[in-house]
Amino acid sequence: MTRLVWTAGIVGLVAATATAGPDRAGIDRAIRKEPAYRTKSPRYCLLAFGPEAKTRVWLVLDGDHLYVDRDGDGDLTGDGERVAVPDFKPSDHLFHDAEREVNLGSVQDGERTHTRLTFGQIRYRKTLGELPADQKDEAAEWQAQLDKVRKQVPDGVADMVSVHVAGPDGKDPVLWFAWVDNGGHLRFADSPKAAPVVHFGGPLTILVNPGAKIAPDPGPDDHFTVHVGSAGVGPGSFAYSSYDRVPEGVFPVVEVEYPAAAGASPVRERYELKQRC
């Protein structure tokens, strides 16, 4: 059993918001007006903004163009709502064959203006890129990780969205992004009904880093990471928040109960996660 708690100072913030908020699964997915798409299979993603998800912005990928409902009126046919997505550029990342992204501008959310809304895609390799000589022993493990990713995204392409969410005073923006979580990678869907919902600036909760483990006797190379953000709907929809507004000196705490040996009592340990990344 692993239980996450927070030291004083943030526990109230998370506890007060983690269970509150809108019904994301039942969110209205109606699109008032759509353009004549150029491809037969446009793909959809719905962005929600703010604690109550009152501002909702549709993104629809139509080949190498993206429709962006920046004003949230459900009409994707307005001027400037069709944006060209640039070609993929080769990547030297170990797992990434190529990447591309486009800045979609700002989103008006009531009196707040959220800036630098960005859409991106990663095209994963089928086999690893070139490894340094001192890392070749890890090739089999990393290839297994890459194979797992390719099973989640058979065509090898994963979607990403990010935005700088304005603070309560409309200033001090904080980066939020969605890409991958414990459910898998973010993928725009083939219909509004099936579209993932990414909630930026929503009620806060905690996500354990995908694949994180705690060894019974942790060493210097063992890492356990948690993230603060807002839950969404669908694989990869968790919206990660940068920790700019988490006060210095406030850290998450992991309480772990290790399985007991026969006839013994369970072993309980408490770890304070002080390193920020």
Question: Tell me, what's the pLDDT at 81?
Answer: 95
Query: pTM score, two decimals?
Result: 0.84
**Mean per-residue pLDDT, 77-100:** 95
Distance CA(205)–CA(228), nearest Å, equals: 6
Higher pLDDT pick, 212 / 21: 212
161-177 average pLDDT score: 91
Q: Is 168 part of a structural domain of the chain?
A: yes
Query: Distance between CA atoms of 61 and 215, rounded to whole angstroms?
Result: 42
Q: Is 115 within the bounds of a domain?
A: yes
**pLDDT score for 10:** 35
What mean pLDDT is reported for the chain? 85
In sequence order, what are the residues at sequence separation of 6 or more whose Cβ sits closer than 8 angstroms to the Cβ of residue 107?
47, 49, 55, 57, 70, 72, 113, 114, 117, 163
CA distance 230 to 114: 16
Helix, strand, or coil (residue 65): strand
- The residues that bridge with 260 in the sheet, in sequence order, are none
The per-residue b/e assignment along 170-188, b for 16 or more CB within 10 angstroms, e otherwise, is: eeebbebbbbbbebbbbbb
Can you give the residue range of the structural domain that contains 184? 2-272
- 181 or 265: which carries more pLDDT confidence? 181
What pLDDT, on the 0 to 100 scale, is given for residue 185? 94
220: which DSSP letter? T
In a domain, 237, yes or no: yes
Q: Are 237 and 183 in contact (CB under 8 A)?
A: yes
- Is residue 258, in this structure, part of any structural domain at all? yes
Higher pLDDT, 135 or 158: 158
Q: In terms of Cα–Cα distance, which of 149, 80, 83 is closest to 119?
A: 83
Residue 81 forms part of a structural domain: yes
Which three-class secondary structure state does DSSP give residue 100? strand
In a domain, 277, yes or no: no
> Is residue 7 one of the residues assigned to a domain?
yes
Half-sphere exposure of 218 (CA within 13 A, CB side): 14
Query: What's the total number of domains in the chain?
Result: 1
